[in-house]
Structure 1
Amino acid sequence: MIKLTINGREHSVDAEPDTPLLFVLRDDLHLTGTKYGCGIGQCGACTVLIDGQATRSCQMPLDGVGAQAVTTIEAIEQDPVGRRVVEAWVGIEVPQCGYCQSGQVMAATSLLKQNPKPTDADIAEAMTNLCRCGTYNVIGAAVRRAAA
C-alpha cells in the first residue's frame, strides 16, 4: 500500500510504485477532473499541483510523490489563488471544448502562487499546456485578470 495526500485527505492505494499518479487519481480514486491527453507529459491535460508546483501527473510515478501534497482540480477552489483563477476563467468564458481547462487552471494557479504579478512573458513561459481550440489569448487574459 502506498499512502498519498490528495486534496487534503490521506489515501492508501494498492498500486505499483512506478504507476503514474494520473491513473491512480482517475481509476482508483475516481477524481476524473484530471484528464488523460497524450500520456507523455507534453499536452498538460493531466496537470496537478504537487506541493503547489504544476506537475504532469501522467509522468509522475507514485513513488515520486512521497509525502508531498497533491491538489487536483476538484479541490482547487479551496485555495484562494485557485478560486481567483476559476472565477477569472468563468468570468471571461475561457473554455470552448473544455478538455484541457483543468490542466490550464492548475498551471495558472501554480504560476500565480509563485509569481503573483506575472508579465506577459512570464505567462507565456509558464502556460505551456496545449489547447486544441486555440484559446491561448483568452487564457492569457484570464491569468492577467486573476493576477489583478
Structure 2
Amino acid sequence: MLTRIDHIGIACLDLDTTVEFYRTTYGFEVYHSEINEEQGVREAMLRINGTDDGGATWIQLLEPIRDDSPVAKWLAKNGEGVHHIAFGTADVDGEAESIRGKGVRVLYDQPRRGSMDSRITFLHPKDCHGVLTELVTSAPNETAAEPEAH
C-alpha cells in the first residue's frame, strides 16, 4: 500500500544556488546530502514534515555530476523543474510487483539503493500519464535526522 508522498524530485543546474533559494524563500533546511554515483547526481534532501507512518515528506534537489546521467539528459530536454514524484511504501518489492501486475512497466528488476539508504524503483512515465514515478521504502532511521550544519 502506498502511504504518502515521500518526495518531489526537482532537477536543477546548480545545487547550491537551488538549496539557497529553498532556504531563503521557504525556510527549508538540508537534512541530508550525498553523491549517488549510480544515478549520476549530487543531491540534497530538504525535510518538509513528518507523517503518521513514521516517514517524512521531502523535496529532493538533483544536480547531475556527469552528462550521461538520466537527470542530465532530462535537464537538456526539459530545463529545470519537477523531475519525478515518489510515493512511500513499507514494501517497495511487493508494491512494484503489484503495480507490474496491472500492466505498468517497472524500470528495475530489483529495487536499488536510493537517498538515505532507502530502497527504490521507478515506474515508466508513459504508463503513468507522463509522470516519472518512484516507489520508496525509507530506511528505518529517516525521521531521526537532524539538519546538516551550514
- TM-score class, shorter-chain normalisation, is under 0.3
Q: TM-score with structure 2 length normalisation?
A: 0.25
Q: TM-score with structure 1 length normalisation?
A: 0.25
Higher helix share: 1
Higher strand share: 2
